[in-house]
Structure formats: structure tokens, C-alpha cells
Structure 1
């Protein structure tokens, strides 16, 4: 489980360090930085999949994603005595992402490349990467240290160099993850690759989830929900069938869901009290279909270490949100859950959960801050120096 997330100089997240719990709820007004925080977490996940530079390119490159304000906001700027203005830069330009967890912590520092003859002058370079043991980085608990193209691994009381010519545009996760040379790198990479993000469930009339699909065993629902019927059947065969049926009953009293199989094409049928025949997924309302997708995602037989739900209330009637909150609460017993929402009814229901960690965001001089968090409330965090 992640205990701390830290971000520096990513869009409105000039400097943010937040504590995490088993169930995390991110709220705030429109424009407060909820989407930036979500995107920063996705960007962090891309380090383990070899796509962090490509992900930045899709956002317009490093220049477009960097904090656009001054390097430091002085007290006189905050009080309005002087206008917000740039000051002589004291530190190198850097986009930093990191987290600490129960076993390891990790941080990455991305910056502009040195002048060269390459045509890829806008590609950011990875300047530093570090893996450590414990809640925050110290010189004594550093396990894997990357500086530029060289990586060294702690070997007892000394260091052993395991790579000297790493590509500047690829994380060490994709270049030296080896069970013998760097087992910490491999273990952390596989953990990050297990993170799941759900924010693109489709429910329009052309949505793949509405139509029968060729089915195989599906312990993990796809990000767009196209294999809903196969995932539902997989849960019925190797998952918690009772919890699955209870989730349907909780949201739709008297209803039941079954799976059809015709020539290996799986479909979903929804039977509701008062109807003489079941409805196919093509006939369901957007809200009903999306809720069934959430049931399948949150009852996965293969729970991930971290599951991130971005605005799960989309297309749902407010009366369904308390049931969705109960669904999320139960899923948090098996996985760490991160929910981004601005639906008051869902927020209120989740905040009633005893161990819910609410992160309420606001904008102050265009930078995202956590409401009520003072300097003494921030978890201890230290970035690796270049």
C-alpha cells in the first residue's frame, strides 16, 4: 500500500506531498487540480511500462506540463505587496514524481536534455531515479541509485555498478529489472504494473459492452469495459459469487444478472422485477450499464495493489451513489482505492467510512493545495538531488 505521494512542478502541482490511506477520496471545486493529480499518478505508473516520455509528449511535452508560475512564491507575493513575477532561477528545471509504500519508495526527476545534434530536442531526460526502503529517502536507506546513464545498487556496505550506459529517455524499470542484479527494481516494477485506472467506461449505444463479444477467462475487466460479460462469468466461476449477487441486489432490488453464451460470444442479460423478459445489455440505460461495469471492476478475482477510479459517478442517478460507496468500501478491503469525485452524495457517503482519507483540493495563486494541510501536517519527504 502506498503511504505517501509527492509531486513537484507538474502543471498546478508546484509542490504537493500527501498522505494516503486504504481508501482515498480526492475532492475539490472545478479547476482545483483533481485532474492534474490523477494525471500525475498515471504518469508515475507509466515509468514501469516504458512510456513516461511518450505520455509527456501526448500532453504537449515537458514545457507544456511544467508549473507555469514562478519558481518561488514569496510572502510579499502572497500578501499582494508585490505582483507575481519571475525571479532568478536557483534550481534546475525539474518535473518530479514519487511515492513511498510499505516496502519501497521511488522517485524520478525529469528535465530538459543537454544541447546535442539529435532531432529529438524536446524529449525530456531522466536525470535521477532512486529506490529506497522506508517511509522517506535517506542516504542510509537508499537501495538503487540512478544518476544520468549510470545505475548502482547497494551491496552490503558498498555499491555495485550494474549499468553505465542507460538510455536517458527510458526508466531503469525497463532497462535493468533483473531478479539477480537488481531485485528491488523488478519487484517495484511489477507492483506498479499492477495498478489499475478506470476512467473510460463507455455506455453510448456503440459501446462494446452493449454487444456480445468473443469471451475468454477475464479476471481483470478491460479499461473500456468491452469484456464485461466474460469478466462477469469469470467472477461467477472463480470469484465471490455471493458478493456479486449482493452488489446487484443492493443497487437494483429484485434484479439479477446472467450471462449468455452462443458460439463463444458472451452477452449480459439483466432481469428486473416487473418485466416479462430480461433485457440485453444493448437495452440498458447508460447508468445501469455503467453500474454493472463498476460491479465487475470492483469484484475482480485478481485484486490489484492500487485501483484508481476517476469520477465513477458519471451517468449514474444520485440514488445509486450510496450503493456505489458501499461497493467501493468493500473493494478497499482487498485493494488500495483512490476515488476522484465531485458528486456531493458520493463524497458524503464515502466520508462516512471510518478509514476514508479525504484529500480536499483548492487553488491558491494558481497552485493546488490541500485544504487544511499545514507544513507540520505534510509527511516527511526528500527528493534525490541531481
Structure 2
């Protein structure tokens, strides 16, 4: 389980180190940085997939995603007695992301590229430093793999530090290019764990939504990010998951209702029985809110729970009466995996917090995303 998450220099997040629990709720008013927080988590996961550089380039490059405020914010600026203005920069420009879990920690430092006259990839940031360690906080004593520039060093089986790679390109992470199962098994374990993280963000429910169409189905223990395999995911829960729990969850949200999965020509289609209707409704006929809830249900009742699941604004298009059943569904799912919920629905926040979820409310101070009253947590970034 991840117990600490750190973000520095990303959009409105100048420097944020916050604790995470088995179930964590991140909330706040519009414009306080919830989307930036969610995107930063996605970027961290992209490192293990080898896509962090391309993802940042797609956002307009590092210059478009960096903290846009002054390097330092004085007390006078926060009090409004001094105009907010920049000063001579003393530190290097960087975007840093990291986390610490019960066994391993990881952090990455991305900086501005060195412009090459022969390259057209000027939006690509460069990976300046990385580190993997054991324990809560990175130090020279507990780091077993570090990357500075193109060089990667790590501990061998005898505990001796050795150079693993001397010329790692600035666009490649050591997480994908130094994970040797013989010498760097820890990197491999951590990489595969991060690759298993799941993110669900604004399922489509329009008339052309992938979840509304019948599709060829195979066993699907993990719902895809776009929900296109909804029928297959629900049938997988019925066959190898907790079928009774699925039925109870549907009845909790939609009393006297149920679902069946029909098969025709190798394609699977979702049908829903609703109280008072003489026939089942096809997925194409379901309301946006009903379809979205079924998508969330398939994600949360997965037979193969990931190490981390992140839900971004799951309340979108849901009727207020569905928020309490959704909260109960999330609470049950958090028994088998760590969950982070990013939401601005107060009713959902209240339901989850009352049941023991850790809650962080984001706010803005001089343009910076902060959490008022958050106790300082020890954290160290890898050195360049």
C-alpha cells in the first residue's frame, strides 16, 4: 500500500506531500487542483509503461505543465500585502513525482531538454534523476537503484554498488530499461506493480459509447479504461468472481432489478431487468446514470484487485440517490485494494469520511494548490 505521495512543480501543485490510506478521498472546489492531482498520478503510472515523456509532450511539453507561479511565495504575498512577482530563479526547473509504499519507494525528476539543432523533438522533457529505495524516506543508505543523467547504479546480490548502465537516453526510464530479474529484481517487481494500477476517468455514456454496443467477449477480470468490455467484465464476475455480491450491489442501487448477459454470434450484450417493465432493456437503452453506475460496479467488483485503483469524479451524471450505494460499493472494494477517489460531490465525501476514509480537501493560496492543516511529512528527492 502507498502511504506517501509527493508531487512538485506540476501545474498548480508547487510542492505537495500527502499521506494516503487504504481509502483516500481528495476533494475541493472547482479550480483547486483536483484535475492536476489526478493527472500527476496518471503520469507517475506512465513511467512504468514507458510513456511519461510522450504523455508530457502531448500536454504541450514540460513548459506547459510546470508550476507557473514564483519559485518562492513569501508571507507578505500570501497575506496580500506584497504583489506576487517572480525573482531570480535559484533552483533548476523540474517536475518531480514520487511515492513511498510499505516496502519500496520511487521518485523521478524531469527537467528541460538540452536543445539539439538536429532534433525536432523539442517538446520532450528529459529524465534527470530517478531513485528506488526501501523505507519511508530516500537516503544514501537505503537506495538500491539510482539514476543520475545517463548513468544507473544499483546494489548487486552481495550488496555492492555497481554501475548497471552508462548511457541511458534521457527519454528512457530506468524502470523500463534496468529491470533485470537477476540483478535488479526489485525494479522489476515495482514496475509490474505500477503497471497494474487502474484509472477510471469519465466513462463515456453518450449514444455512441463503447459500453452500449455488443462486442466479442473474452474473460475480462479487469474492466478497460473506456468500458468497452463492460458485458464481458460483468460476465467474468458472474463466472469467477462474487456473483452474489454483484446481485446485491445492483439491488442496492436499483431495487428489484438485475442484469443478464446475452450471447449471439460470439458477441456479448448487457441486458437489464427493471421493476415494472415487461422486457429487459438493452445497454443502448439505459440512461447515462444507470450505465455509468454499472461501469463503476464492474470496475470495483473486479475478481483481480489491483494494488491501486483511482476513480476520478465517479459521481458524474449519477442521481444523488446513487451516491450512498456508490459509497458502500467503494468501501467494500477498498477491503481488497487501495483506492483513491477524486471528487467534488460533498455527499460522497461525507459518506466515505463517515466510514473512516482519509479525506484531503484541496484549496488555493496565491495560485498554489495546498491542503490547509496538513502536517509536514518527511520527504527527499533524488539528486541530479
TM-score scaled by structure 1? 0.97
Equivalent in the alignment of 1:305? 307
Q: For each residue in 1:179-234, what CA deviation from the matched residue of structure 2 results, as whole angstroms up to 9, or x when unmatched?
A: 01211111110010000000131111111211211111111111111111111111
Is the counterpart of residue 176 in structure 1 residue 193 in structure 2? no
Equivalent in the alignment of 1:274? 276
Q: Is this contact kept in 2: 1:61–1:123, CA < 8 A?
A: yes
Is the counterpart of residue 17 in structure 1 residue 17 in structure 2? yes
Is the counterpart of residue 289 in structure 1 residue 287 in structure 2? no
Equivalent in the alignment of 2:89? 89
C-alpha spacing 1:293/1:115, structure 2 compared with 1 (3 Å): closer
SS at match of 1:372: coil
Distance in structure 1 (CA, Å) of the matches to 2:232 and 2:93: 47
- Shift of residue 115 of structure 1? 4.1
Equivalent in the alignment of 2:222? 220
Equivalent in the alignment of 1:359? 360
- Aligned alpha-carbon RMSD (Å): 1.1
Distance in structure 2 (CA, Å) of the matches to 1:193 and 1:41: 12
Distance in structure 1 (CA, Å) of the matches to 2:80 and 2:322: 45
Residue correspondence of structure 1 range 309-324 to structure 2 within 5 A? 309-324=311-326
Unaligned segments of structure 2, at least 5 residues: none
Is the counterpart of residue 72 in structure 1 residue 83 in structure 2? no
Count how many residue pairs are aligned between Structure 1 and Structure 2: 382
Equivalent in the alignment of 1:196? 198
- Shift of residue 45 of structure 1? 0.6
- Shift of residue 112 of structure 1? 1.2
SS at match of 1:337: strand
Is the counterpart of residue 372 in structure 1 residue 373 in structure 2? yes
Distance in structure 2 (CA, Å) of the matches to 1:285 and 1:157: 59
Q: Is this contact kept in 1: 2:105–2:134, CA < 8 A?
A: yes
- Shift of residue 75 of structure 1? 2.1
Distance in structure 2 (CA, Å) of the matches to 1:278 and 1:80: 61
Distance in structure 1 (CA, Å) of the matches to 2:123 and 2:231: 43
Equivalent in the alignment of 2:111? 111
Is the counterpart of residue 98 in structure 1 residue 103 in structure 2? no
Distance in structure 2 (CA, Å) of the matches to 1:243 and 1:313: 21
Q: For each residue in 1:20-73, what CA deviation from the matched residue of structure 2 results, as whole angstroms up to 9, or x when unmatched?
A: 000010100000000000000001111001111111011110001011111111
- Shift of residue 157 of structure 1? 4.9
1:383 to 374, 381, 384: 381
TM-score scaled by structure 2? 0.97
Is the counterpart of residue 244 in structure 1 residue 241 in structure 2? no
Q: For each residue in 1:265-299, what CA deviation from the matched residue of structure 2 results, as whole angstroms up to 9, or x when unmatched?
A: 10111111211111111111111111111111111
Q: For each residue in 1:240-266, what CA deviation from the matched residue of structure 2 results, as whole angstroms up to 9, or x when unmatched?
A: 111111100110111111110111110
Q: Is this contact kept in 2: 1:200–1:223, CA < 8 A?
A: no
Equivalent in the alignment of 2:35? 35
C-alpha spacing 1:180/1:289, structure 2 compared with 1 (3 Å): same
SS at match of 1:347: helix
Unaligned segments of structure 1, at least 5 residues: none
Q: Which moved more, 1:81-90 or 1:356-365?
A: 81-90
Moved over 6 A (4+): none
Distance in structure 2 (CA, Å) of the matches to 1:86 and 1:277: 65
Q: For each residue in 1:296-338, what CA deviation from the matched residue of structure 2 results, as whole angstroms up to 9, or x when unmatched?
A: 1111111000000000001110001000000000000011001
SS at match of 1:258: strand
Distance in structure 1 (CA, Å) of the matches to 2:123 and 2:208: 38
SS at match of 1:6: strand
SS at match of 2:86: coil
Is the counterpart of residue 133 in structure 1 residue 134 in structure 2? yes
